[in-house]
Structure 1
């Protein structure tokens, strides 16, 4: 069978667009498509083709690029008319522009073959995207966004017409809403049928810092049911919607030589470093989630702020809008969840040197140069996304390197009242005027930091201190200890 696979691969990959029919041809030869791809990955130099979108299958597109030129393509030689395709791994040195494709399946077959045909992508690249967790599906196409074209809306209506859905046995017993729920595709051989929705993150978000870390040295503790990791800044705990390969859970699993993948029990921001608990079993994952719900888990943070804060409890209310930046209000607003933290200590420390900031890719966000920063020890009383970052910025003490919240803090200091939810908020004559002010306030915020900010989850404990762990020195102290 091995020789047949090699011969088949050579025949299938010998030229042109025949490689896009790799899966179907493999089945015709009685060979597993994954076997062909494995051979393809290991032995055959792949080729890439310019993307030519098939408007009959694409429902909607969110893209800044109509080609796969950002997939790290380089000419093999001046004598060849095709190009080399460098794999998603190792991580490329450049950053690709965002590109997300939304597709509706037009004919049954394997997901690999469908995506290759629809987006004119090499099978090897699509296989890598599936390995990364960058391909998702739903049995029934979800409703198009407001900016969808007439053709896209027409396609949606055609594939979701009740008379069409009644004929699909795969969705019997499910409501349309249940069938529109998306799931990650995990196999190149997964069967797809007409009417199914496929979302492809053609350029996944990358985490190059994963390859720079000595992961074994970041392990704080290994217990029977869990592992405690000192997470590096610039990494994702459990991955993102489009990348589960380059994550702390994946790299810690490999560093420890475990055969069963570690699982996330809680999150901290990509730009935050410090203590993270990873479960070794599904059972303990559920147990730890329960401890968090029952407030049996205590977390302390170190924050490096640009200005001093008073000790004591700081209270805000966060807008219930699941998108950054997170807006907070000093006054109670109905429906806005409570945000509370306790500043236990605030001490003056040297401002990080240029060398240290460069080493950890800490961004210069426009704060005036000064000699000292302020290291605060924080007891996090409620665990909201971006809570510490947003609350410190609201107190005109943004975290060093926080390119999202520091620009807004600077803008508010220069123009008091710019924040419609702040201390010096203005009175609005109508709701439209306030909405405009909110939009303008959001625009004052910057982008998410690429690597590190002045924030560390320095300590985690649970069960009244029975389990108690500390992180190492924060990055801003690592060169001066």
Structure 2
């Protein structure tokens, strides 16, 4: 069943699943047991300004219009439209709502959060609004009022009237989907998650996108991705992307498809498929290791030629931790350094243009441009491996601060070359937490990394990026 159609048409003509009711009954008997991590995690919090989760406990539900609050009074900026794009990202603001009054989604969110209707329309266009048919379980930090509302809207006596959940398990009913239309109907009990401040990419509006197109064929487009942009978008922004802007620059009537990713702060070759079919074909080539990627890395110290091997912790969070020793369950990471030559450290004007942060590196007279063959494709692999070697990338504000700390005090890295022996697992866990805390935040625009060449089918197709940003002063 198409859930988006269910939400859009008011969920008529369906009946409630007995399986779902039985699961809810079991769940309500043990609210401390997590049901789903799709929507709520320890890193997300309920808003105290939403109609669904008011800050004070109440024995009766309040009307939507009565809970609308003035943004300025609560310390939020005055909202108008998402465009033109600001030059900075606002602090995260994520609102979690349970619909108390059915109706069009844009109207409901606008009233509940006291946001201008056109601002909400922009959020929906950006992909920053999600829904689930049934409210997920609140996190451990939830208030008594939030738990009360969760219980109310997951009671079997309430769900039996929800025709939209026929044949669904609880986990299926709590799965989130993007809201795609401003007039989609949301019924009472529907969960909404609104990213009021989506992550922005102002660089998208500064780029001459036509000049970044390397090649156009019937099946794909090759893009020289600028640093400071997202290939296919983020959780809350699918508008300000390379895919969107390249599609517009070429005047295509059908949107391009993302075939692979590189970090936002990395520049270089990206393949965008023109059809869903070729997107699948290219994915298969990647899985079958028929695609070769070469990178230029601007490291702070020289690297020896040869293969570098690490093992990466299988946790999908930055920073990515790596170990030179094989650890059970950790993923193999390998790259090959093909060349390494001394170059000048980027001058102050270039650093300012690409928002290169200081990161505390002691000497900025010279850097080292290394040509790297990426043998395995892990997220942040080159960045994490080179930092562990003591050769972090220029401008890498996540990994360079930790590398500097390890240089000054060897042994801080619990998985590094000078790692210490720990007397207990608790001591090691504390050391890991302290090591993670030494890492910094994601770079604002660029780091010293370029995907400079991509090829596949044994070199039948081969493309190169332009001059890397750190050599721009030489032009």
Normalised TM-score (structure 2): 0.84
Compared CA separation, residues 432 and 162, structure 1 to 2 (3 A): farther
> 1:477 corresponds to which residue?
471
Residue 234 of structure 1 aligns with which residue? Answer: 228
Deviation by residue 1:422-455 (Cα, 9 ceiling, x = unmatched): 1111111111111111110000000000000000
Correspondence list, 1:32-47, <5 A: none
Counting only pairs closer than 5 Å after superposition, residues 447-458 of structure 1 correspond to structure 2 as 447-458=441-452
* Contact 2:52 2:97 survives alignment (8 Å): no
Unaligned runs of 5+ in 2: 1-46, 57-68
1:331 aligns with 2:325: yes
Match status 1:459 vs 2:463? no
Which runs of structure 2 are paired with 1:297-316 in the superposition (5 Å)? Answer: 297-316=291-310
* Structure 1 contact 59–155 (Cα < 8 Å) conserved: no
| C-alpha distance 143-59 of structure 1, shift in aligned 2 (>3 A) | farther
Report the count of equivalent residues.
416
1:67 maps to which residue? 71
C-alpha distance in structure 2 between counterparts of 1:178 and 1:58, whole Å = 27
Say whether residues 1:430 and 2:427 are aligned partners. no
**Alignment correspondent of 1:392:** 386
Q: Deviations over 1:248-274 (max 9, x none)?
A: 001001100011111111100000000
Assess if the C-alpha contact under 8 Å between 1:58 and 1:101 holds in 2: no
> Pairwise mapping of residues 109-258 of structure 1 onto structure 2 (< 5 A)?
109-258=103-252
Matching residue of 2:37? none
Q: Where do 5+ consecutive residues of structure 1 fail to align?
A: 1-50, 74-84
**Which gives a bigger RCO, structure 1 or 2 (Cα 8 Å, sep 6+)?**
2
8 Å CA contact 1:53, 1:120 repeated in 2: no
SS of 2:474's equivalent?
coil
Separation (CA, whole Å) in 2 of partners of 1:59 and 1:350 = 56
Q: Secondary structure at the match of 1:333?
A: coil
In structure 2, the residue corresponding to 1:479 is in which secondary structure? Answer: helix
Indicate conservation of the 8 Å contact 2:350/2:473, yes or no: yes
Measured on the aligned residues, the alpha-carbon RMSD in Å equals 2.0
1:275-424 maps to which residues of 2 (within 5 A)? 275-424=269-418
CA gap 1:280/1:70 in 2 versus in 1, 3 angstroms? farther
Secondary structure in structure 2 of the residue aligned to 1:478: helix
Q: Which residue of 2 aligns with 1:27?
A: none
Distance 2:48 2:300 in 1: 49
Q: Deviations over 1:144-201 (max 9, x none)?
A: 2222122212222222234433332211122111121111111001111122111100
Distance 1:395 1:282, change over 3 A: same
Return the alpha-carbon distance in structure 2 between the equivalents of residues 344 and 211 of structure 1: 36
Could you tell me whether the CA contact under 8 Å between 1:57 and 1:118 is conserved in 2? no
Give TM-score scaled by structure 1 length. 0.83
The answer to whether the Cα contact below 8 Å between 1:88 and 1:125 also exists between their aligned partners in 2 is: yes
Measure the CA separation in 2 of the matches of 1:343 and 1:58: 56
